[in-house]
Structure formats: C-alpha cells, structure tokens
Amino acid sequence: MRKFALLPLLALLAAPALEAKLPWTKKAQALGFTNVKNCQSCHATEKVKKGDPLTDMGKFLMDRKAKEKAAEVDLAWLKDYKGK
C-alpha cells in the first residue's frame, strides 16, 4: 500500500526536472526566434545536464551572460546572435 502512495509523489518530483527548459523554448519562440525548436538549439546533447557541451547558440548566450554579469540568460540577446 505504501508503494502506491509514493508513486504520485515521485512523479510530481520528477516532472519539473523533465521540463525545466521547456519554458525557455516557448519564451524564445514567443520573442520571435522560431529557429529555437527544442533544447538542442542550445545544448549539444539530447538529455541535458549541467556542464554538457553547448551549440554555438548556447555558447553565445553563456558568453553574453558572463559579459553582462547577469544572473540568468536573457533570451532577447538572441537578436544579436549571428550564428550558423
């Protein structure tokens, strides 16, 4: 009985991790960057983990974040991205 009570709790805990970057994709598209289709627009791996390699776009955003000394990436910076 206890096992079944824990399953919904585990599902709720896992859900935010699975869609952690989905809002970024939606936000980029809402800003007009329709070339951002999924996490692989910035991340070079399918299952994204911190420290994984980035694409040119991802590197651009991280470099800009460091340059601006920002706490978080601002997707509006993509307007300045002149990548591939």
The domains of the chain are located at 21-80
| Cβ(41)–Cβ(35) below 8 Å | yes
- Per residue in 23-79, pLDDT tens? 889 999 999 999 999 989 999 998 888 889 999 999 999 999 999 999 999 999 999
Q: What is the pLDDT of residue 13?
A: 47
Sequence length of the chain is 84
List of E strands, the chain: none
From the list 76, 73, 84, the residue with the least C-alpha distance to 29 is 76
Q: How many CA atoms lie within 13 A of 15 on its CB side?
A: 6
Three-class SS state of 7: helix
Q: What is the pTM of this model?
A: 0.71
Interatomic CA distance for residues 25 and 65, integer angstroms: 17
DSSP state of 1: -
